[in-house]
């Protein structure tokens, strides 16, 4: 279906003609009930959508558009295990990873018939928990008999971003006796730095790769294995390497015992996989109980997303507002600004979730879209961003819708020490800055307000803030494992909502393939002793030639 040809699309387009007139000062002045009506509580999250440039009429039209796009049906299809990832012919079942035991969700089995996945998920998680408890208790020992002190996760994309983000986010819940490192970049300095102060005898590698074919991960895993075996010998691999993958054959071929492989399934997308065995290193760090709490947080949002009518469905509304800005109002980017140092990797994590999902230009039927799809997602934790790019947010020529994330209490884990007076003072300053940014962006400071404040009139244009810059504020009591799970699922479901309205497939990622195959072709050309064929475009050929000259190899053909 060409959604852009529907009357619902036409209605939203017509409303967007008045976007410039939608002033937040006036919207608030005219409507005393606005905050109450547009603030939603779901789980522990308070989601304040009142500072968005939308009227009731706009929201009703957006919900009608979502209905026309078949969002309800699509959500049910996803959660029931239908193969909605049509370009890869796969089900999409990250929600099954956090479904309670006893739920039945079936997919087509390899040998025909339907197979329940929830039982398999729970039995895998039990294996993960047993393993992680052994590592945490010092019962899983290395080749020399020494307990494990460091878990090094080797993976990239979804096999890195989720666990590394959550490891930072849940720092207050980690066991101090066990630390994790995350190695993703094929730049050898990533691995070298991670290993520089480690003892092979107390190091455990988790090679995390859904496909077990990703070149960066395999290159790092091979180097890590060499680092280990140089110190402890070949037999040490069995005690120091485990894998997370769908690809048993490749794991075994690498030299990891299949008994030490934690399975995932093709219906878990990489960027939706933190709650699968890809979260093994996180579970080792925070323990199975905290991991389960994170899953239960996700489940709270899943249940809301599946059951709540679209007009009160918070991830749906947030996703639709994102569609409004990107597609109908022409705003190209979206900033996510957590006021939490522990969430410093959260926006990076969301970049994969959102941009790998919705950075698409053809619809499910293969026809090109003639409207804008996924926005550029970016951001940094506050307050640091305030002293760099927030100038542009406040007074630049581009309007950037922002998500502010703030907690009422500092992170404290199990102890309440962090809630001491000093931490409270810092935290109040942090939260005040968050609220102030959203207020300043929304309401700005007019020329009249500048004049009465006694500012030099010559500087008035520079000291005026246009305001009318929209934002969501998400507030929760504290960054607990459950709240982290709620935040993750909230963004996952927003991402799906947008993809469904745009009629694209948010679950494939063909756009990463061309670069991968060209890199595989270029790598030998950079390093081979004989001159390469130089079968690329003139610019790439010249760069290959220059690289070879700079590394002491010969130039182009015949050189």
Smallest gap, in angstroms, from Cβ of residue 113 to ligand F6P? 27
The residue within the footprint of ligand F6P, chosen from 101, 192, 258, 512 (CB under 6 A), is: 512
* Omega of the bond leading into 302 within 30 degrees of 0 (cis): no
Residues 287, 297: Cα–Cα separation, whole Å:
16
Residue in the block written with tokens 């976007």: 19
HSE-up (13 A, CA, CB side) for residue 289: 6
Please state the closest distance from residue 354 (CB atom) to ligand F6P, in A. Answer: 13
The verdict on whether 210 is a catalytic residue reads no
520 contributes a contact to ligand F6P by CB under 6 A: no
Give the DSSP letter string of 430-469.
HHHHHHHHHHHHHH-B-HHHHHHTT--GGGHHHH-B----
Quickly list H helices, 56-95: 56-68, 71-79
Is 217 near ligand F6P (CB under 6 A)? yes
Contact with ligand F6P (CB under 6 A): which of 15, 16, 105, 156? 156
The least distance separating ligand F6P from the CB of residue 210, rounded to whole angstroms, comes to 4
Read off the tokens for 469: 């810059």
Please identify which residue in 158, 287, 375, 401 interacts with ligand F6P, judged by CB under 6 A.
Answer: 158
Q: Tokens 């590698």 map to which residue?
A: 205
Residue nearest to ligand F6P (CB): 270
| β-pair partners for 471 | 402
Nearer to ligand F6P (CB atom), residue 201 or residue 268? 268
Work out whether 85 is an interface residue with ligand F6P (CB under 6 A): no
- Applying CB under 6 A, the span of 63-71, 163-171, 208-216, 413-421 interacting with ligand F6P comes to 208-216
Is residue 506 within 8 A of residue 495, CB to CB? The reply is: yes
Whichever of 383 and 498 has its CB closer to ligand F6P, that residue is: 498
DSSP helix/strand/coil, 391: helix
- Cα 223–157–536 angle (5° rounding)? 80
Token readout for 331 is 């705003």
Q: Up-side HSE of residue 502: CA atoms within 13 Å toward CB?
A: 33
Task: Give min distance, CB of 163 to ligand F6P, in A.
Answer: 11
Quick one: which segment of 210-218, 223-231, 333-341, 473-481 binds ligand F6P (CB under 6 A)? 210-218
Question: Is 390 known to be catalytic?
Answer: no
Q: Residue 280's Cα: distance from chain center in Å?
A: 17
Which position among 126, 426, 462, 516 bears the catalytic label? Answer: 516
Instruction: Give 91 or 476: the residue with its C-beta nearer to ligand F6P.
Output: 91
Binding flags for ligand F6P, 258-287, as an x/- string (CB under 6 A): ------------xx----------------
Closest listed residue to residue 141, CA positions, set 280, 240, 258: 240
Q: Active site includes 51?
A: no
Residue from 471, 509, 541, 545 in contact with ligand F6P (CB under 6 A): 509
Rule CB under 6 A: say whether 359 interacts with ligand F6P.
no
Distance CA(328)–CA(322), nearest Å, equals 10
Confirm if 474 and 403 have CB atoms less than 8 A apart.
yes
Q: Which residue out of 8, 293, 356, 380 is catalytically annotated?
A: 356
- By CB under 6 A, is residue 429 in contact with ligand F6P? no
Q: How many residues bind ligand F6P (CB under 6 A)?
A: 14
* 162 binding ligand F6P? (CB under 6 A): no
SS3 category, 241: strand
Interface residues with ligand F6P (CB under 6 A) are 156-159, 209-211, 214, 217, 270-271, 356, 509, 512
Residues with catalytic annotation? 356, 387, 516
């Amino acid at each position: 279906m060409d959604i852009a040809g529907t009357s619902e699309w036409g209605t939203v387009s017509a409303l967007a003609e008045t976007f410039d007139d939608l002033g937040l000062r006036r919207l608030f002045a005219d409507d005393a009930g606005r905050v109450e009506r547009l603030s939603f509580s779901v789980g522990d999250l308070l989601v304040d959508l009142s500072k968005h440039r939308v009227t009731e009429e706009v929201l009703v039209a957006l919900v009608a558009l979502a209905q026309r796009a078949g969002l309800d049906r699509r959500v049910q299809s996803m959660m029931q295990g239908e193969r909605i990832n049509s370009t890869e012919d796969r089900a999409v079942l990250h929600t099954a990873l956090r479904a309670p035991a006893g739920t039945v969700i079936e997919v087509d089995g390899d040998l025909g018939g339907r197979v329940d996945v929830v039982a398999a998920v729970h039995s895998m998680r039990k294996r993960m928990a047993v393993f992680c408890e052994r590592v945490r208790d010092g019962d899983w020992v290395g080749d020399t008999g020494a307990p494990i002190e460091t878990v090094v996760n080797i993976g990239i994309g979804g096999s890195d971003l989720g666990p590394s983000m959550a490891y930072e986010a849940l720092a207050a819940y980690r066991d101090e006796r066990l630390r994790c490192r995350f190695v993703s970049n094929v730049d050898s300095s990533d691995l070298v730095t991670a290993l520089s102060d480690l003892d092979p005898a107390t190091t455990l590698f988790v090679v995390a790769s859904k496909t077990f074919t990703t070149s960066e991960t395999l290159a790092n895993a091979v180097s890590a294995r060499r680092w280990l075996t140089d110190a402890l010998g070949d037999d040490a691999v069995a005690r120091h390497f485990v894998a997370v993958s769908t690809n048993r054959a490749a794991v075994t071929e690498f030299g990891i015992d299949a008994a030490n492989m934690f399975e995932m399934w093709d219906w878990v997308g990489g960027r939706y996989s933190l709650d699968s065995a890809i979260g093994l290193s996180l579970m080792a760090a925070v323990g199975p109980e905290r991991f389960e709490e994170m899953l239960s947080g996700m489940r709270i949002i899943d249940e809301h997303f599946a059951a709540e009518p679209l007009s009160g469905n918070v991830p749906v509304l947030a996703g639709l507002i994102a569609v409004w800005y990107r597609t109908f109002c022409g705003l190209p980017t979206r900033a996510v600004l957590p006021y939490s140092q522990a969430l410093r990797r959260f926006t990076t994590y969301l970049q994969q979730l959102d941009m790998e999902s919705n950075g698409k230009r053809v619809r499910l039927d293969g026809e090109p879209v003639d409207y804008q799809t996924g926005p550029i997602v970016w951001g940094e934790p506050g307050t640091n961003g305030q002293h760099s790019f927030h100038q542009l947010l406040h007074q630049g020529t581009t309007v950037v819708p922002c998500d502010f994330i703030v907690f009422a209490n500092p992170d404290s884990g199990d102890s309440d020490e962090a809630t001491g007076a000093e931490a409270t003072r810092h935290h109040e300053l942090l939260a005040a800055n968050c609220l102030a940014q959203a207020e300043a962006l929304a309401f700005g400071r007019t020329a009249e307000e500048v004049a009465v404040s006694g500012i030099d009139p010559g500087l008035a244009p520079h000291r005026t803030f246009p305001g009318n810059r929209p934002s969501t504020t998400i507030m929760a009591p504290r960054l607990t494992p459950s709240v982290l799970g709620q935040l993750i699922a909230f963004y996952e479901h927003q991402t799906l909502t947008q993809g469904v309205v745009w009629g694209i497939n948010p679950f494939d990622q063909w756009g990463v393939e061309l670069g991968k195959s060209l890199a595989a072709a270029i790598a030998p050309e950079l390093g081979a002793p004989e001159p390469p064929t130089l079968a690329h475009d003139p610019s790439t050929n010249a760069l290959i030639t220059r690289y070879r000259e700079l590394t002491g190899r010969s130039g182009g053909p015949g050189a």
